[in-house]
Structures are given as structure tokens and as C-alpha cells.
Amino acid sequence: MGNIAAMYHYVREKKGWGGIVPMHPHDFEEQLDLISKTHRIISLDEIDKSNSEPWCVLTFDDGTKDQYTFAFDILKRKGIPAYFTVMSGPHLTGNVPLVHLVHTVLSFKSDEELWELLSGTYDTSGVEEESQIYKYEQKKLRRYNKFMLNFKLSVTEATIFLESIFQSLFPDKQKFINDFYISTEEIVEMSQAGMTIGVHAHNHIPYNGDPQEFYDIEIGPCKDWMKSVLGINPIWYTPAFGGGVNQKLMLDKLTPVLVKNGFVGAFSTREGGISDNREFWMDRIDCIRLPPLGTSSYL
């Protein structure tokens, strides 16, 4: 049996949000009970201590409001710790990161309509093969749209394309931000309740290949903002998109910059378990693909 980190994003009812793949709160609670039968769920403070039994770390990306409303509420009730990473951009700039523009537009516009607009305007070569990173999406056009918007188009191109659609759906952007993301007060509450809060991103962009520049624009601003909110220096990091198409380069080149700035560990989106003598970058298992505990090769 081995150690694992479970990766979560949305924990909520779907309620019309067809552009996301959430875990229902009831299923989340059941999964916690299942994990607890074979693993001790620990906080990141315990990860380097001697553990006599296999452990699991619960990790949450993006800092969306549902994680506070549903996941945190369940965790508090059960007395279970977890690790949440948050974004500074929405709070500091008043802008919605591209990834959530994508999720919102995909939820309220059809894949057929979006693909017609995208394929009629931009180069779509290579999308069929490269969009397999979204193989969990059963609909072909959903995979194509997500890859085009998240990776194929430049940030500027995708943002311009999505902003006009988003504006028609949610005219009050600040209200959307307040409703969609964990607030600073809620982050403080979660930290005081024993949850570990880490750096996710400023604007949720994938690794750009330049470690220092990427730190300066995506990691440092979030770290500084978190220090102002919590009064402590965050020491754990989880990159947006797991780094994206430059993940392998990121895992190699970004590590020295992170260590120099006080980080002690980070989580990737590579699938796998974690050894007792962990490396700086740790693998995770997506909660929606977590095999039944007891039969998984990671246990």
C-alpha cells in the first residue's frame, strides 16, 4: 500500500454548468470515507514526518467558492485537513482568468456553436491529436474547443474571443468574481481552521518556458498577495494546468527558482503515488479517475 495525493477542482452540484466536471458533495463525502478506510488523511505539515501507515493528502486547485461552501464544510465536520491553492488575479485585477472564462462559456454556449466560430476564424491544425489531453471529455468538439481556448490560441486571442461572450452572460464581472472565488475572509477562516493554503497562480497561465519570468508574473504576485492576506509566507505550490504543454521543462527548470524563494514542495498533474522519501514535485491522482481503493496500483 502506498501514499497518494488526490486532486480536486470543483466540488458542487452541476446545476447547468455543463462546462465543468464537478464532484457532487455527497460523492466527495463518500470518497473521503472510502479513503479513510485504507489511508490516514494528513496535512502537508505531516508529509515529511515518519508515518507508520499509508497516507493521503487532499489537494484542491483554483480556489473556487464551491470548495469553501461544500468541501471545506464537509472537511470541518469530519475533522479532516486538506491543501487548497488559490489565485490572486481575480482579487487584484478584477479580471476572470482564461480557464474560467472557458468553463463559463462552455457551460452556456453549445460546443457546435463555439467550434463553428473557432474553426472559422483560427488555425485548427493538430487539434485532433493534441486535444487528447482532455480524453476524459467524451464529446469530440468539447475536447477541440477546450484545447483551442486553453492552449492553441494565444492568451490575448482567447481572451478577446471569450470576453465578448462572457460579458453577454454576466454583465457584472465583479459580482461574478465575488460569487465564483473564495474571498480573502474565507481564506483566512480556512487557514485558521487548519487547512494549508498554497500558491496556485496569479492569472492561471501555463508555464511559458522562462523560469524567472514565469515566477515574476505568475507565482510571486500570488505569494505576495497571500502573505498580505494570511500574514505568512506560503511554502507549497501547485501550477496552473500542471504546467501545460511545457510540463517536463517546468519540472526541471522552475524548481531552483521555487527553492530559492522558500518553497519546499509542489504538486504536478502527473498520475502516480508518492514515495516515503518524496521528491520536490509530487504526483497526484485525479479524484474523478481514482480507482476503487484496494484495487488501485497506487495503493
**What is the per-residue pLDDT across 18-39, written as a single tens digit (0 to 9) for each?**
888 899 999 999 999 999 999 9
Q: Which tens digits make up the pLDDT trace of 173-217? A: 999 999 999 999 999 999 999 999 999 999 998 899 999 999 999
- 77: pLDDT confidence band, cut at 50, 70 and 90? very high
Q: Check pLDDT > 50 for residue 112.
A: yes
Q: Check pLDDT > 70 for residue 294.
A: no
The mean pLDDT value for 132-153 works out to 89
CA distance 142 to 69: 28
Task: Give me 96's grid cell.
Answer: 476572470
Q: Which fold has domain 4-93+183-289?
A: TIM Barrel (3.20.20)
Average pLDDT, the chain: 92
More confident residue, 114 or 245: 114
- What is the dihedral angle through the alpha carbons of 165, 170, 175, 178, rounded to the nearest 10 degrees? -60
Task: Give me 259's grid cell.
Answer: 527553492
Question: Which of 221, 22, 208, 203 has the alpha carbon at shortest distance from 96?
Answer: 203
- 133: pLDDT confidence band, cut at 50, 70 and 90? confident
Task: Give the model's pLDDT for residue 1.
Answer: 52
Task: Determine what percent of the chain is predicted with pLDDT higher than 90.
Answer: 83
Question: Which of 99, 204, 87 has the alpha carbon at shortest distance from 147?
Answer: 99
Per-range mean pLDDT, top range of 20-34, 73-87, 125-139: 73-87
Q: Check pLDDT > 70 for residue 299.
A: no
Question: Which of 168, 136, 176 has the alpha carbon at shortest distance from 286?
Answer: 136
- 232: pLDDT confidence band, cut at 50, 70 and 90? very high
Q: Check pLDDT > 80 for residue 295.
A: no
Task: Give the model's pLDDT for residue 296.
Answer: 41
| Domain boundaries, given as residue ranges, for the chain | 4-93+183-289, 98-174
Helix-helix angle 155-169:98-108, to 10 degrees: 50
Angle formed at CA 43 by CA 196 and CA 274, multiple of 5 degrees: 115
Task: Give the model's pLDDT for residue 297.
Answer: 38
